[in-house]
């Protein structure tokens, strides 16, 4: 599976063995070259926790580089016309911006997001988890991704934003097609589908934003419209991109965090499930351990914003570096016996939510959904067990299950 590991590596992220267990590959690579050039991606990557954490916070690297250099200066081709609608929306996304634009938008979004306390959503999440289990408990079996892991974050973020929950199938379809743009080996068909989804998603949100401007409600879209700092507000384009980001990020990763977490708990030996969720503190620690052990996203990238040397590697402005957070969580120098799931482990900072100025805005909500949904599921179905080996989908740098078949 792994070839030519010195400072360079040939390993397709679609290799079936890697898809099902990337951690074995990470350990083999780390033992030889914890910083390596991943030929399949065409950029350097780092595996160790300290390197990943440092690069998240190193302001010489950023999510965007076009504020310090032009495409011509970087030797980049122009965006193909068929992808222009997708990148027009991405151009206003918090995830892709750097200061000072990022600082302004993040401040406005934070103001609106914090105004709706995440903790207030706890009863709604708990009620929703019970309702979903009511729907399949009598069957004695379930495919958990579709029946439980997906509906919870989708319904919660839709209700939080104020868009109709009955639009969830469209929201999911648009989101899946858009995030496929970030998967390894995307095709022209993937690109066309992503552009069509982007245009449909943006049109849907423009209509809702227009309605909320005239009739504000107690929802996040209304709060985003009202958010103001230093006399500035979000433009309509910024509102559309922000809502798309919140909807996509608000469910995509959490779906797989729930699925991966349940699979890990049921697949590990010697786990005392009752003890893992015996108190709020134990539950919080268990969730952090699950996020460390098998996070739903495995790599974020950064651009060098200047010519620099890092760890003996010469970066030119615009060069990419991959921060392999899936490997960082299994770094033996940071976590003792890292391949063992240990809910009682003293929580240590992991990188599942990123770091630095781009630390995940929705981390408190994702944590709450996991802290509420997992104890409800395992408490209602104490005999829960794997009915088939979990199978991960080929979607790197995402890492989530195709399905999770359970019985009790």
What's the CA gap between 360 and 369, in Å, rounded?
Answer: 15
pLDDT tens column, 225-257: 888 666 678 889 999 999 998 888 878 889 999
The predicted pLDDT at position 367 comes to 94
Helix (H) or strand (E) holding 160: helix 151-161
The predicted pLDDT at position 1 comes to 39
pLDDT tens column, 256-268: 999 999 999 999 9
Q: Is the pLDDT of residue 7 over 90?
A: no
Count of C-beta atoms within a 10 Å radius of residue 201: 23
Region 398-404: mean pLDDT is: 96
What's the CA gap between 113 and 243, in Å, rounded?
Answer: 11
Tokens coding 19: 């898809």
351: closest CA among 287, 284, 283, 300? Answer: 300
pLDDT tens column, 110-147: 876 665 678 889 999 999 999 999 999 999 999 999 99
Q: With H, G, I as helix, E, B as strand and everything else as coil, classify residue 301.
A: strand
406: closest CA among 390, 394, 395? Answer: 390
The predicted pLDDT at position 5 comes to 42
Q: Is the pLDDT of residue 168 over 60?
A: yes
Choose the weakest-confidence range: 155-159, 193-197, 261-265, 401-405.
155-159
Give the chain's mean pLDDT: 92
> How many helices, marked H, and strands, marked E, lie in the chain?
17, 13
pLDDT tens column, 312-353: 899 999 999 999 999 999 999 999 999 999 999 987 789 999
Domains of the chain: 8-407 (1.10.630.10)
The predicted pLDDT at position 122 comes to 94
The predicted pLDDT at position 315 comes to 95
pLDDT tens column, 368-397: 999 999 999 999 999 999 999 999 999 999
As a whole-number percent, the residues of the chain with pLDDT over 90 amount to 73
What's the CA gap between 148 and 142, in Å, rounded?
Answer: 9
């Amino acid at each position: 599976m792994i070839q030519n590991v010195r400072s360079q590596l040939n390993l397709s992220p679609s290799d079936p063995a890697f898809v099902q267990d990337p951690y074995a590959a990470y350990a083999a690579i780390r033992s030889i070259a914890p910083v390596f050039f991943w030929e399949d991606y065409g950029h350097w990557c780092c595996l160790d926790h300290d390197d990943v954490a440092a690069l998240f916070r190193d302001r010489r690297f950023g999510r965007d580089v076009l504020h310090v250099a032009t495409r011509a200066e970087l030797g980049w081709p122009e965006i193909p016309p068929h992808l222009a609608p997708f990148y027009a929306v991405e151009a206003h996304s918090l995830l892709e911006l750097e200061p000072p634009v990022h600082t302004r938008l993040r401040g406005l979004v934070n103001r609106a997001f914090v105004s709706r306390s995440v903790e207030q959503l706890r009863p709604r999440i708990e009620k929703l988890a019970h309702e979903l289990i009511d729907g399949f408990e009598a069957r004695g079996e379930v495919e958990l991704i579709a029946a439980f892991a997906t509906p919870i974050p989708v319904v919660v973020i839709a209700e939080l934003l104020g868009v109709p929950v009955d639009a969830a199938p469209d929201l999911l379809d648009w989101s899946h097609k858009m995030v496929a743009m970030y998967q390894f080996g995307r095709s022209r068909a993937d690109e066309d589908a992503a552009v069509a989804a982007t245009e449909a998603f943006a049109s849907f949100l423009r209509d809702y934003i227009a309605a909320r401007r005239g009739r504000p409600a107690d929802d996040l879209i209304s709060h985003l419209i009202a958010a103001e700092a230093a006399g500035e507000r979000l433009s309509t384009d910024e509102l559309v991109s922000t809502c798309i980001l919140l909807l996509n990020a608000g469910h995509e990763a959490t779906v797989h965090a729930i699925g991966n977490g349940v699979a890990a708990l049921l697949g590990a030996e010697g786990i005392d499930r009752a003890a893992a969720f015996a108190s709020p503190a134990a539950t919080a620690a268990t969730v952090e351990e699950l996020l460390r052990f098998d996070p739903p996203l495995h790599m974020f990238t950064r651009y060098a914003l200047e010519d620099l040397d890092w760890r003996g590697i010469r970066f030119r402005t615009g060069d990419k570096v991959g921060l392999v957070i899936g490997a960082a969580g299994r770094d033996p120098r940071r976590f003792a016996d890292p391949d063992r799931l240990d809910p009682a482990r003293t929580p240590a900072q992991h990188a599942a939510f990123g770091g630095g100025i781009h630390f995940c805005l929705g981390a408190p909500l994702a944590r709450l959904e996991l802290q509420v949904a997992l104890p409800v599921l395992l408490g209602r179905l104490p005999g829960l067990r794997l009915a088939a080996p979990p199978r991960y989908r080929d979607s790197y740098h995402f890492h989530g299950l195709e399905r999770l078949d359970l019985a009790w």
